[in-house]
Amino acid sequence: MRLVFAGTPDFAVPSLRVAAARGEVVAVYTQPDRPAGRGRGLAASPVKQEAMRLGLPVRQPDRLRGADARDALRALQPDLLVVVAYGLLLPSRILDIPAFGCWNVHASLLPRWRGAAPIQRAIEAGDAETGVCLMQMEKGLDTGPVLLSLATPIGERETGGQLHARLAELGAQVLGDGLALLRAGMRPAPRPQPEQGVTYAHKLDKTEARLDWTQPAELLARKVRAFDPWPVAEADVAGERLRIHGAIALPLAHSAAPGTLLFAGRDGIDVACGEGALRIRALQRAGGKVITAADYLNARRELRDTSAAQPAGAG
């Protein structure tokens, strides 16, 4: 079975390994090398690095539009194109080239969370469950019929980075299941997505990482988890801008204004929210490393004496 694989970030790497183990990968498409790091030198994508390690041919076009792109793909005579977080749009003329079309590994239980950031949006929304889908691609954004899916619960303390890593492996598993069926002559039956329950996972924006203390503590705690490791939630606490890496919501009844510092001690730093309070447990000062709230308070001992009197954004 001749496969072409298209992917870019580390999320796609486990699926590339499975594709290489289950079929003949005749080409790996990935985005062009990009400047990265302090030196801004060109860096290969995680998928390119893994493809080179596996000895697979790599292609890095800027786009997949035009007759040249179609001719290049058609010359490979692919049975199937596997797409996992590639990052480039595939025109319908490209989708029609492989004998079995194009399969996509998507990190949600479609039709919930179509789009760019399904993992983070699921945590932010408080979903109890998520999963992966193997989808037959069509022209619309994540609208194609689902071939196979696997569900998994979202842990109460699970961050976006942790769930991302788990779903990458789960995605490889569902792809492997699909490829095994195809090799056995049992092509997975496409199941159209229901029209009800459609939601969109809009791309993350760094501006939304700023916590709004007027919002409920439960929502802010979910944002902290969802936005770790990027863009990382941040807030003004006792006159200092901090990046928040760990926090829990407290069902605390209070009459303090949102943003008021309620308590600071070895268990954390409690800040009043629109509903309840957010207990900050891990944080990062500008230019510093991630530390516990207790370590932070060793440097700011004056906050330990604070008791529901100081607005969190004040000096």
pLDDT of residue 308: 54
In this prediction the pTM is 0.92
Q: Find the DSSP H helices in the chain.
A: 13-22, 46-54, 67-75, 92-95, 118-125, 160-183, 217-226, 293-299
Confidence of residue 250 (pLDDT cuts 50, 70, 90): very high
What's the CA gap between 265 and 55, in Å, rounded? 54
65-90 pLDDT, tens digit per residue, is: 889 999 999 999 999 999 999 988 89
Report how far apart, in Å, the C-alpha atoms of 65 and of each of 62, 70, 287 are.
9, 7, 43
Q: Quick one: pLDDT band at residue 306, thresholds 50, 70, 90?
A: low
- Which string of b and e fits 239-278 if b means at least 16 CB within 10 Å? ebebbbbbbbbbebeeebebbbbbbbeeebbbbbbebbbb
108 is in an annotated binding site: yes
291-305 average pLDDT score: 87
110 is annotated as contributing to ligand binding: yes
pLDDT of residue 238: 86
Cβ atoms of residues 278 and 251 within 8 Å: no
Over residues 99-111, mean pLDDT:
97
Region 26-43 average pLDDT: 89
32 is in an annotated binding site: no
Helix (H, G, I), strand (E, B) or coil at 94: helix
pLDDT tens digits along 232-248: 999 999 889 999 999 99
Q: Which domains does the chain have, with CATH numbers?
A: 2-201 (3.40.50.170), 206-303 (3.10.25.10)
